[in-house]
Amino acid sequence: MKRLFSGMQPTGALHLGNYVGALKNWIALAESGTYDCIFCIVDYHAITIPYDTEMMEKRVFEAALDYLSAGLDPEKCSIFVQSQVIEHLELSWIFASLTPLGQLMRMTQFKQKTLQWSEKDQDEDEPNWGEEIGGDRDSFLSRAGGINSGLFTYPVLQAADILAYKGEVVPVGEDQVQHVELTRDIARRFNNRYGNVFPSVESLLSHTPRMMGLDADQKMSKSIGNHLELSEGPESILHKVTRESVSDARRQRRKDPGVPEECNLYAWHKIFSTEEDVAWAAEGCRTADIGCFECKKRVAERINAILDPIREKRQELAAHPDTIYDILNQGAMRCRGIARETLDETRAAMGLKKLAPFK
Ligand code: TRP
C-alpha cells in the first residue's frame, strides 16, 4: 500500500475553509483504505512566525480535536504532532545540504510571505527580484535579510516530513504543489548522490474549489477574520452568514436580479447545499424571486446541518482530553518507528553508519 502523508499547521480552531479544502478530503482518504495515511500537526513549521508560547499547546490540542470531531478515524490513519518525532529535523538538515539557495528563493510562498509580491509574478520560474516594485537583487537580499532562515528552509522541513515516511502521495491545495515538487527534486538528488532511498512523490489535488471568506474577496482565512469556525455555534453561523457575508452587488434592492455565478453565496450553496437548493438559489437570484437574505439563511442552515454532528462529537471529545493525548502519543510512537528506520537507512547510505545514533 502506498503511503500518504499530509500536514496542517496548528492554527487553533479550524475554519470551514480548512474543512472543505483539506480535512474533509483527509477523512475520505483515510476511510477509503487505499493508502497508509499519516496526518501531521506541524508545530515546528508554525514557529517560523512569532507566536504566543502560552497558546501553542492549546492550538495543537484544538487542531487534533477538530480532526477527530470532523470524523478523522484514528483506527484508520495515524495522527501525530511533528515535534514529537525528532527525525524530521535530522532529515531536514540532510536535505538542506542538498538544496540550492536559488530553488528556495523561487518558492512562491516564501516570496509571498517575505516580500508580498504581486500575484502576477508567482508562477515565474526565474528568481524575480521584484522589478515591478522597484526591486533588484540587492534590495531583495536586504529585505530578505531580516527574515528568519526557518521561513526560508520551511519547504525543506516539509520535504523531510514527507520523506521520513517515504510518502508517495501528498494531498494538498494548489499553493503547496510547488513544495511537493521540491520534495521530489530533493529525493531525486539524494538518490543520485547517495543511492536509492526515497520514492517519487506526487501531490494529490482535491477537486473542491477554494472557499472564499465572508468578504467574498479573499480566501477564507483566520488571519483576515473572514472565516467561520468549525466549532462555532449555530446562532453565530446564522448571524454571520445572514448579516456579514457579501453577496452579489447587483442586488441593491430586493427586486434587482443578480448573477449567481458571480456571487459568493451561490458558490457556498454549491459546496454545502443539496442540488435542489442550488437550483433554487440560482433561479431565485436570476429572477429576483428570492432575496439575498433568504438565500443566505438557507445556506446557513445547510452549513449548520453539516456542523451539528461535528459540534456534538467535539463536545464529547473535549470532555476527555486524555483520549486525545493518547491518540496523539500513539500516532507519534508509530511514526517515530517508521522515521527512525528511514533515518538509519539514510545515514547508512551517506556513510554515517559507523557511529550509531541514539535510540
Ligand atoms: N506547508 C503546509 C501548509 O502550509 C503544511 C505542511 C507541512 C505539509 N508539512 C507538510 C503539507 C507535509 C503536506 C505535507 O499547508
Question: Closest ligand 1 atom, CA of 42?
Answer: 7
Query: With 90 as the cut, is the pLDDT of residue 104 above it?
Result: yes
C-alpha distances out from residue 346 to 92, 95, 193, 198, Å: 12, 11, 12, 9
Among protein residues, the one whose CA lies closest to atom 13 of ligand 1: 6
- Rounded CA-CA distance 55/62 in Å is 11
Task: Tell me the per-residue pLDDT of 65-75, one tens digit each, with 9 for 90 and over.
Answer: 999 999 999 99
- Rounded CA-CA distance 60/321 in Å is 12
Looking at residues 131-157, what average pLDDT do you find?
76
- Rounded CA-CA distance 85/327 in Å is 15
Looking at residues 107-115, what average pLDDT do you find?
82
Within 10 angstroms of residue 47's Cβ, the number of other Cβ atoms is: 15
Q: How far is the CA of 219 from the centre of ligand 1 (A)?
A: 18
Among protein residues, the one whose CA lies closest to atom 15 of ligand 1: 8
Ligand 1 interacting residues, C-beta cut-off 6 A? 5-9, 42, 45, 158, 161-162, 170, 172, 176
- Rounded CA-CA distance 216/245 in Å is 7
Residues 6+ apart with CB under 8 A from 56: 10, 43, 46
Looking at residues 25-54, what average pLDDT do you find?
96
Residue 139 is predicted with a pLDDT of 66
Q: How far is the CA of 7 from the centre of ligand 1 (A)?
A: 5
Query: With 70 as the cut, is the pLDDT of residue 323 above it?
Result: yes
Asked if residue 26 lies in contact with residue 70, where contact means CB atoms within 8 angstroms, the answer is no
Average pLDDT of the chain? 91
Asked if residue 140 lies in contact with residue 116, where contact means CB atoms within 8 angstroms, the answer is no
Q: How far is the CA of 242 from the centre of ligand 1 (A)?
A: 33
Q: Give the residue with greater pLDDT, 42 vs 50.
A: 42
- Rounded CA-CA distance 136/142 in Å is 10
**Hey, is 38 helix, strand or coil?**
strand
- Rounded CA-CA distance 330/94 in Å is 27
Q: Give the residue with greater pLDDT, 95 vs 136.
A: 95
Q: What is the pTM of this model?
A: 0.90
C-alpha triplet 144, 146, 152: angle, nearest 5°: 55
Query: With 80 as the cut, is the pLDDT of residue 357 above it?
Result: no
Looking at residues 247-265, what average pLDDT do you find?
95
Percentage of residues of the chain with pLDDT beyond 70: 90
Q: Give the residue carrying C-alpha cell 473572514.
A: 226
Q: Point out the residues that are catalytic.
A: 113, 219, 222
Looking at residues 341-352, what average pLDDT do you find?
95
- Rounded CA-CA distance 216/248 in Å is 9
Question: Closest ligand 1 atom, CA of 5?
Answer: 14
Residue 130 is predicted with a pLDDT of 56
